[in-house]
Structure 1
Amino acid sequence: MASWQQVLALDAKYNAYRAPNNPQFRTLYIKRRSQLLKENAAASDKDAASRRDYLHTRARLLAAKYGSPAFSDQGSIKSRSFSFGGRSISKSTIENLEPKIGDTRKYHRRQRSSGSVKFNLDGPMKRIFDSIEVVPTKEAEASRAMAGDKSVSENYAFAGMHHIFDQHTDAVTSVKFANDDKSRVACSSVDGTLSVCQVIPPPATVICMLKGHTEAVSDFQWSLSNDIILSVSFDGTARLWNVASSDCIRIIKDITGAELHSCLFHPLNNNMFVTGNSKCFVQIINLSTGKGYKGGSCKITGMGMALAFDSVGKTLWVGDDKGSLSSFNVDHTNGKMIRVRRVAVCEGHAITSISARAWVSREAREPSLLVNCSINSLCLFRISPDGSLQLKKRFSIRQKFSRVRSTFCPLMSFRQGACVISGSEDMCVYFFDIGKDKKACVNKLLGHSAPVLDVCFNCDESLLASCDAQGMVIIWKREGKQGAL
């Protein structure tokens, strides 16, 4: 495990050289790199020597491409300097960091808490990084400059329409960009079909239509590698689609024959997925065999309308049409579920969407849950260490009858505030700054002529997709310069 953490530290060292004019990409790169290294560390069967060879080879390749960074891999820790915010800092400076650089960027020295991110480096590096924790304050001008030195409102000034799709003949129930992909987006519809579209480069086109369901497609998910799409339908089946060939490669019938309302891949094991049905059952299914796991199903208080995993797939949240939110511990090796707790969020009113986030922003380091409730509310909950929920914010939207969804904005940065977006029955797309107590709505997009049912960003937040109950999908573009990967 230490070798992979050293690889991440190496990538972080060279990160300032990647896309120097696009700090959001650098944030996304390290986030994605960390995820991949964590997965490889858990699944790899390579020996330690091979990992060390990989580390040295990668260091040489990065040095050849970008030149020597602020400190090299050779020499002792005493001769090394470290780069923070573009400034070179020696070991002695680090030991007295707080009084030395307060003129441009302020940091707090504090004890690490359970909610902070730790780099488990070995040896002298561990001692240095354990002694400080970099936390931007409101006076951290350099940190805000990394994020473009713009307000939340300016960062989410989506206005222009990049493209409008109307290939579906009925309501589009969900829209999702492919994982870590800014160009491909997929849609599911009440007309029983799914579509995969290319939005970059222009002109935007429909790549393929996935046909096979006999009733409304209620939900779908991209696999982690984007080669498979999982869909569920009111026809009582889950289907697996090969994106490249547009073929349906497997049909899995619900064991109770009930309508399926929701589906979700396990974030660390894409051979495992979860479904929620209209007979109040949640089931974990093996993708390869098409069968449910022993001990992998539970009954809830209502129809399984919405699903969400935490980032490591340990906790599963399920929202139902009775307004209850249930949590389960999930073993990703054997598919067993253990009920943890149930919370009545909006009793008697459906929960239609759940999104989980480990951090909301660099300045809000607490796990959060974003929940759409059919009582004209979008609720943000703080997840306590014991797994209980505490209501942190409530935002007003129009939602009483439709299955409206919301999401966190995908990128984290040092800018103050953080944003969430939601559809609404008043035909608008809403942007809310969760850091504001008053006037939290920082943007509202008008353009749909029916209730907006789902919203989704691409990976670099340069494009936003929204879909409505009349089958229209709008791809919105950010004002000014778009991000690029």
Structure 2
Amino acid sequence: MAAWQHVLSLDARYNAYRSPNNVSHRTLYIRRRSQMLRQRSELVNQTDDFDVRDYLRLRSILLSQRYGAQAFSDVSSVRSRTISLRSVSKNTDSDIEGRTDVRAWKTRHYPQKAGVVPTLLADASRAMAGDTSVEENYAFAGMHHIFDQHKAAVTSIVFAHDDKSRLACASLDGSISVCQLIPAPATVICVLNGHEKGISGLAWSMSNDHVLSSSYDATARLWDVASGKCIRIMEDPLKYSVLSCVFQPANNNLFATGNSNSMIQVYNISTGKVVKGGLGKAVGKVFSIEFDSFGRVLWAGDNQGFITAFQFDIVHGKLTRAKRITVMEHHSITSISSRTWISREARDPCLLVNCAMNILCLYRITDEQGGLELRKNFPIKHRQSNIKSCFCPLMSFRQGACVVSGSEDCCVYFFDVQREQKPCINKLQGHAAPVLDVAFNYDESLLASCDASGIVIIWKREQKS
């Protein structure tokens, strides 16, 4: 429904009054508020059962009383602001009204018009970002710490959810290290040993209690971070290498893996077995898999240059193949990341894809079946290695929208996806081997990158003088 967008717009206008001395708390509040409103809109209420205007008027009065911001108490200004944003996005008048049906929501979530939607009305975004330029936002230069505990390439690095300090690193030496970055000095708090071969993929559970890993030893393992023990081993039924893994975002008792036999398999953690109907077939070796934010679509990228989209039954774990998208035949898809909104000015849901043809691709998600439409390409050095990339986590609150990728030329690249010319806004040089993966902590204060020699560099944001 459209109501949550009106509520979020009102919240954003008062956000500067919440925790005025701590910007990160304000951004975290809006991020979480937006997530909860979207989930409620999609999963709970399919129609509006209340008068949105009355609700907004009452909420505005309460916020005004709480924070003393009388200038914002007029709810009409909030509605006019929301309508202006939506009219710039060229949505229909029926979308703006409070009462919409499910079809209208799907139309908003998967808009039919490609391209970004610029606007000059992103005042709240710029305020939360400090009203700085995109280059200043992503001026990472200094090194916070360098880790060298691994004896082989570090293939995957992942920050814990909503945690700016804990980082998990997976290596081809068969071990996983969990690092604490703050306070200084950064330390390795535990090492998870048990895999007999190198580790290909890594994921945190939503509670951050567990880490999931996939390995060339034909197993996926679930680890308890607190104790450092492996609490579940899931063997590939046909002993094929497990190349990728991901938790189901709506149900962390389920996870999916991709193997070297072109199979995607959905496991139940409680039983350790593949669920009934939880099998899917790709074209080639499945190097990368990713769910959408609601867990209803699963994309699998393979070494033949295809992305296969599956519809996912959240209740039963069943996979149904929906679409196949050709990126570049015979060139591996090594990384897939999804994002519901790329920024407040470009609201299309997007997919970020690394293809071993020297390109980083940004796709627009066009429908519920996981259909994709190419939006932009960015040049990087990528032919042989399993290079990965990520979205910048606070991009929804910036005057710009950025992505970050590793590269075989030993550099880390930042690209502004809304720039038509010279999209590269920063390049970090410090590695002596191909950069295989990159990861941001939730508030973008630290960026981690890892390379083929086993080095992990923690970069810190450049401080203004």
TM-score of the pair, normalised by structure 1: 0.81
Consecutive unaligned residues of structure 1, counting only runs of 5 or more, are 45-68, 74-79, 100-105, 123-134
Moved more, 340-349 or 451-460: 340-349
Cα deviation, 1:320-351, whole Å, max 9, x if unaligned, reads 00100000000111011110111111100100
| Contact 2:288–2:336 (8 Å) recurs in 1 | yes
Which residue identity lines up with residue 406 of structure 1 in the other structure?
S
1:345–1:86 CA distance, 2 compared to 1 (3 A)? farther
| Contact 1:175–1:187 (8 Å) recurs in 2 | yes
Give, in whole Å, the separation in 1 of the partners of 2:163 and 2:339: 19
Query: Which residue does 1:423 correspond to in 2?
Result: 406
Percent of aligned positions that are identical: 56
Shift of 1:354: 0.3
Are positions 1:283 and 2:273 aligned together?
A: no
Match of 2:326 among 344, 367, 375: 344
Which residue identity lines up with residue 61 of structure 2 in the other structure?
F
Q: Aligned ranges for residues 255-274 of structure 1 at < 5 Å?
A: 255-274=237-256
Query: Which residue does 1:164 correspond to in 2?
Result: 146
Query: Which residue does 2:420 correspond to in 1?
Result: 437
Which residue identity lines up with residue 196 of structure 1 in the other structure?
V
Consecutive unaligned residues of structure 2, counting only runs of 5 or more, are 45-58, 101-116
| Contact 2:267–2:274 (8 Å) recurs in 1 | yes
Query: Which residue does 1:238 correspond to in 2?
Result: 220
Shift of 1:40: 8.7
Query: Which residue does 1:153 correspond to in 2?
Result: 135
Give, in whole Å, the separation in 2 of the partners of 1:279 and 1:97: 52
Are positions 1:90 and 2:81 aligned together?
A: no
Shift of 1:382: 1.1
Which residue identity lines up with residue 17 of structure 1 in the other structure?
Y
Q: Aligned ranges for residues 320-469 of structure 1 at < 5 Å?
A: 320-385=302-367, 387-469=370-452
Q: Aligned ranges for residues 152-301 of structure 1 at < 5 Å?
A: 152-301=134-283
| Contact 2:6–2:78 (8 Å) recurs in 1 | no
Give, in whole Å, the separation in 1 of the partners of 2:276 and 2:193: 31
| Contact 2:9–2:82 (8 Å) recurs in 1 | no
Give, in whole Å, the separation in 1 of the partners of 2:229 and 2:236: 20
Shift of 1:118: 8.7
Query: Which residue does 1:50 correspond to in 2?
Result: none
Shift of 1:70: 6.0
| Contact 1:24–1:413 (8 Å) recurs in 2 | no
The RMSD of aligned alpha carbons is: 3.6
Give, in whole Å, the separation in 1 of the partners of 2:179 and 2:77: 52
Give, in whole Å, the separation in 2 of the partners of 1:250 and 1:18: 43
Shift of 1:84: 12
Give, in whole Å, the separation in 2 of the partners of 1:454 and 1:111: 34
1:88–1:308 CA distance, 2 compared to 1 (3 A)? same
1:330–1:481 CA distance, 2 compared to 1 (3 A)? farther
Which residue identity lines up with residue 88 of structure 1 in the other structure?
F
Give, in whole Å, the separation in 2 of the partners of 1:389 and 1:96: 33
Query: Which residue does 2:62 correspond to in 1?
Result: 72
1:199–1:94 CA distance, 2 compared to 1 (3 A)? closer
Which residue identity lines up with residue 285 of structure 2 in the other structure?
M
Give, in whole Å, the separation in 1 of the partners of 2:78 and 2:277: 51
Which residue identity lines up with residue 229 of structure 2 in the other structure?
D
Are positions 1:474 and 2:457 aligned together?
A: yes
1:87–1:161 CA distance, 2 compared to 1 (3 A)? farther
| Contact 1:70–1:82 (8 Å) recurs in 2 | no
Shift of 1:146: 3.5
Moved more, 407-416 or 397-406: 407-416
| Contact 1:83–1:89 (8 Å) recurs in 2 | no
Shift of 1:145: 3.2
| Contact 2:86–2:96 (8 Å) recurs in 1 | no
Query: Secondary structure in 2 aligned to 1:72?
Result: helix
Give, in whole Å, the separation in 1 of the partners of 2:280 and 2:85: 47
| Contact 1:81–1:89 (8 Å) recurs in 2 | no
| Contact 1:5–1:119 (8 Å) recurs in 2 | no
Give, in whole Å, the separation in 1 of the partners of 2:70 and 2:246: 41
| Contact 2:393–2:440 (8 Å) recurs in 1 | yes
Give, in whole Å, the separation in 2 of the partners of 1:367 and 1:437: 19
Shift of 1:85: 9.6
| Contact 1:85–1:143 (8 Å) recurs in 2 | no
| Contact 2:122–2:399 (8 Å) recurs in 1 | no
Query: Secondary structure in 2 aligned to 1:466?
Result: strand
Cα deviation, 1:95-143, whole Å, max 9, x if unaligned, reads 76699xxxxxx856579849x9999799xxxxxxxxxxxx982365565
Shift of 1:453: 0.2
Which residue identity lines up with residue 452 of structure 1 in the other structure?
V
| Contact 2:412–2:427 (8 Å) recurs in 1 | yes
Query: Secondary structure in 1 aligned to 2:357?
Result: coil
Shift of 1:11: 7.2
1:6–1:350 CA distance, 2 compared to 1 (3 A)? closer
| Contact 2:205–2:247 (8 Å) recurs in 1 | yes
Structure with bigger gyration radius: 1
| Contact 2:10–2:60 (8 Å) recurs in 1 | no
Give, in whole Å, the separation in 1 of the partners of 2:5 and 2:345: 23
TM-score of the pair, normalised by structure 2: 0.84
Query: Which residue does 1:32 correspond to in 2?
Result: 32
Shift of 1:88: 1.8
1:290–1:4 CA distance, 2 compared to 1 (3 A)? farther
1:86–1:165 CA distance, 2 compared to 1 (3 A)? farther
1:445–1:92 CA distance, 2 compared to 1 (3 A)? closer
Give, in whole Å, the separation in 2 of the partners of 1:117 and 1:226: 37
| Contact 2:3–2:98 (8 Å) recurs in 1 | no
Which residue identity lines up with residue 328 of structure 1 in the other structure?
F
